[in-house]
Structure 1
């Protein structure tokens, strides 16, 4: 099987096999034949290579393996994403929206997080069967719409959000799929969806150029920044960044919450300890932003989930110029990849890497190139603080109100495109919180990523107990950034 067929079918298994065969860095040929200029793919592992690739923005720019569209198409406008605009080589769009994602601003979103989480939970009932990935996508999608497109009606922003979700899933395809822009082909449908999304976002930008309302959002912040400078003519360039911001803020949060709820359901002893902590500090209420720092086990649990089932498992870069990386020659235009997932499952960095063990975070302090679920270097995810706040607040509310249990023998396989998500979702039963936590047997390649055998064989359940003093007393700041 050619490497690229293996890669697009299952990139994480492909990486594991190639690392075992070739070592920490290797180059392979382009998957696209008959190109005028052949480019190679360089795949590198380990913290030192991660640091060079992610830190050296002069040599490596952001890139992806998403399919290109016709010239001047909406597909290409969206694909540009969050790259530095051509006319602003020294003034990244990141700086424009950064204030909306900083700690002080995130506190203003707390009420929306609580309200929208309650809206989802109001539809859950005792004994109900739900698809948890779908539910977390609804929650995170609503939150992303509120933050980015809050000036729009909720119905319009949700419709755009759903279209962007489908666009993202369709756009990361194997290069073996021919780009036939003919009616009835997947590529033609993708191009049409790209045009619709670009047109919708452009209309939103136009409205923000001509009117100011009391209800602002991130999209308006971007427009106002350009209007107040000499760059107003480039406001249409914001279509791509706006689309990327939505996808980045919604998809990673949805996957992180889904995987965390799954891991807790399958590790009843950890779930019991975490429930004690939540009850002691919160007493059944939603956490305030101040109380989040009093929940160290919650943060350790989330960090461990982000390590073992990393929502974004691979980072892509493109070489801007000829260079050399750890003995491998790289030419301008070559694609370079490193992997959060592979790094996070390296035994030399994390003992028993396939074991879900939140307690490890009370004794380890990996650097940002050993543990980087939200990226690292100058182009790391600026939504880290907001994302962690959403995950903490929403999970604390869910776990205090409901006990979630995976339906026995559910098949759970990963699907890796831009992010890593459960291929068929994860079906669960919802129960009013009764503290009867219990693991169940599941199928699928989830077992390649997480050691569940011992947990499932024990199938430990926990009866109702009185809540004692929590033994987790350190500040969250001792083992990571608090939200």
Structure 2
């Protein structure tokens, strides 16, 4: 299915909501970002709207999304997502542009290649087994807290090479504050306020960033006092990485990249696992099919890295979870001079938006889009860029394989021993990542 086009071949551009003076559609967007993007999707493939005073277009067709993602660094520049976002991530590989982005990507990428992810798989499984050993039949647990603590431990061990409660707790608490404030800033008035305006939210994220800076600096100092070249964690690899000119990452760059990897390895996977348990709790048929696969492939043993490829249905559950509840729920870029999208000319600096939430729930690309059907990944042909939870193109998430392997192996360890009945309904709230709207309580049932 192609983008709907007019007589001259360019996409049909439709007008979105009129908005209000100065703020445009920011109030409507801020009130319900997911619903707002869904409504834009239903208006057309390319929709004009205003984010504050900025000219914007929203694209929902996979072909146009592919143009946005593959045109990164050439036709579309990375957007400035605000002072709160920059305060947390600094100038890490997610934020950097141009030659600096290429340099940083070349230094970070070797740490998350398949060979390295294989080495981290044992830690993922070990942490999950520790949780399963502690769980008891009939116990009531906070699923969100349990998954967050588990993936946090995996992240701290694989990224920082440490495993102490003090290291984990300080960083995790600061990250929780940062995520909350970034979401509030991005969807509220802070999105249009100049950087120099001081607000309580910006003060809170600065305090959280100082905690993160202090903890990362302490862990880096500990690494530098040892022989980093002999350690298997991601931080040690970053400390010894050199670019083509023999230059290593600075202390600030190390901080920015480790924080970026921490968010990718902890926040996104924890959220995916919470939504997976929620969906499994409401779909007994899927839960039974998962149990059958785990019994057939694993029997009574724990999974290893090689089992990842032997668990296609478990993978499909994770992919379907990411389709319905994508942890990264929007992508955005800014048009360079002379740029078009779907054949539509864009003024320089036009902000182009797309949303995983909106496109991945579009009935044109997914049969029964609101239904949790992992089988679709074995039977249906999915349009390229209709599913893009990790982005795509040259700036595809570096930690995508790490996140997939972790989610599949952790789910395999826990679901082999337990089912979880989640109580009540939970609502997605878009912050830095897509989060449940509160605690997620569930009851454990031994298998």
Same fold by TM-score greater than 0.5:
yes
Q: 1:131 aligned to 2:152? A: no
Structure 1 gaps of 5+ residues are 32-37, 70-74, 434-483
Q: 1:50 aligned to 2:65? A: yes
Task: Quote the RMSD (CA, aligned, Å).
Answer: 2.8
The residue that corresponds to 2:205 in the other structure is: 190
Structure 2 gaps of 5+ residues are 1-18
Q: 1:224 aligned to 2:240? A: yes
Between 327-336 and 387-396, the greater mean CA deviation after superposition: 327-336
Residue deviations 1:91-122 (CA, integer Å, cap 9, x gap): 33222222222222222112211211122223
Q: 1:164 aligned to 2:175? A: yes
Q: 1:26 aligned to 2:47? A: yes
How far apart are residue 390 of structure 1 and its match? 1.0
Residue deviations 1:40-61 (CA, integer Å, cap 9, x gap): 2221111111111000121223
The residue that corresponds to 1:475 in the other structure is: none
The 1:86/1:181 distance shift into structure 2, 3 A limit, reads: closer
How far apart are residue 132 of structure 1 and its match? 0.9
SS at match of 1:171: helix
The residue that corresponds to 1:262 in the other structure is: 278
**Match of residue 6, structure 1, among 22, 28, 32:** 28
Between 320-329 and 100-109, the greater mean CA deviation after superposition: 320-329
The residue that corresponds to 1:278 in the other structure is: 294
Distance in 2, Cα, partners of 1:96 & 1:105: 14
SS at match of 1:354: coil
The residue that corresponds to 2:216 in the other structure is: 201
How far apart are residue 427 of structure 1 and its match? 1.3
The residue that corresponds to 1:106 in the other structure is: 117
The 1:76/1:270 distance shift into structure 2, 3 A limit, reads: closer
The residue that corresponds to 2:227 in the other structure is: 212
Any residues of structure 2 matched to 1:458-469 within 5 Å, and which?
A: none
The residue that corresponds to 2:79 in the other structure is: 63
Any residues of structure 2 matched to 1:293-442 within 5 Å, and which?
A: 293-326=309-342, 328-407=344-423, 410-433=424-447
The 1:195/1:398 distance shift into structure 2, 3 A limit, reads: same
Would you tell me which structure has more helix in proportion to its own residues? Answer: 2
CA contact (8 A) 2:62 2:386 kept: yes
Any residues of structure 2 matched to 1:67-106 within 5 Å, and which?
A: 67-68=83-84, 76=87, 78-83=89-94, 85=96, 88-89=99-100, 91-106=102-117
The residue that corresponds to 2:5 in the other structure is: none
The 1:331/1:151 distance shift into structure 2, 3 A limit, reads: farther
The 1:288/1:217 distance shift into structure 2, 3 A limit, reads: closer
The 1:352/1:145 distance shift into structure 2, 3 A limit, reads: same
Give the TM-score taking structure 2 as reference length: 0.85
Residue deviations 1:285-310 (CA, integer Å, cap 9, x gap): 21122223222221222222221222
The 1:150/1:170 distance shift into structure 2, 3 A limit, reads: same
The 1:79/1:28 distance shift into structure 2, 3 A limit, reads: farther
How far apart are residue 203 of structure 1 and its match? 4.6
The 1:140/1:332 distance shift into structure 2, 3 A limit, reads: farther
Residue deviations 1:200-223 (CA, integer Å, cap 9, x gap): 334544555565244342222222
Distance in 1, Cα, partners of 2:379 & 2:330: 26
Distance in 2, Cα, partners of 1:344 & 1:249: 22
Distance in 1, Cα, partners of 2:220 & 2:245: 16
Aligned length: 419
SS at match of 1:40: strand
The 1:251/1:157 distance shift into structure 2, 3 A limit, reads: same
CA contact (8 A) 1:85 1:237 kept: no
The 1:310/1:182 distance shift into structure 2, 3 A limit, reads: closer
Give the TM-score taking structure 1 as reference length: 0.79
